[in-house]
Amino acid sequence: MSAQTLPEGVPTDSAGHVDQDSLTRAQKALLALSDEVAQRLAEDNGVCVRPLAMRRIDMTTGRVDVVATPCKSTREDQCRPCAEKARRERMVQAREGWHLEVEPFDKPADPTEHQKRLGGIHRSLRISAGLPRRSPRRLRHRPQRWPG
């Protein structure tokens, strides 16, 4: 990463640090923003730009730590370092033959005799209770709709 050159007239101390209190609004606008600098630094070093904070609890001591984990995005417009790592990993997996030539299961297994008997008992119980033979599919597993 190249060193940033400061605009003319920006006051610095003896160590070369910028004195933020004595800057004008125009001078502050010309300086790079800290989040942009952090993002650029992360991209240059191949580190995740949008890490996720996860809580880790040590079960023996009870100590709680917050750990930054990579976002693992596969899209370059969201996180270039993670997308590059995912691309390289997919290339390795394809080269090593991780993909399947044939699907492992063609069709579901045929029901056993015991399963057939249980199905018959279940149907007869539903009929004797006055319920339909089969629940309508549209009523099963209907997702909740949020108003608005």
Convert the pLDDT of each residue in 69-126 to its tens digit.
Answer: 999 999 999 999 999 999 999 999 988 888 777 777 778 888 999 999 998 898 888 8
Summary mean pLDDT of the chain: 81
Q: Which of 83 and 2 is assigned the larger pLDDT? A: 83
- Window from 18-22, 35-39, 40-44 with minimum mean pLDDT: 18-22
Evaluate if residue 144 carries a pLDDT over 70: no
Evaluate if residue 14 carries a pLDDT over 60: yes
Q: Which of 15 and 92 is assigned the larger pLDDT? A: 92
Residues in a beta bridge with 54: 67
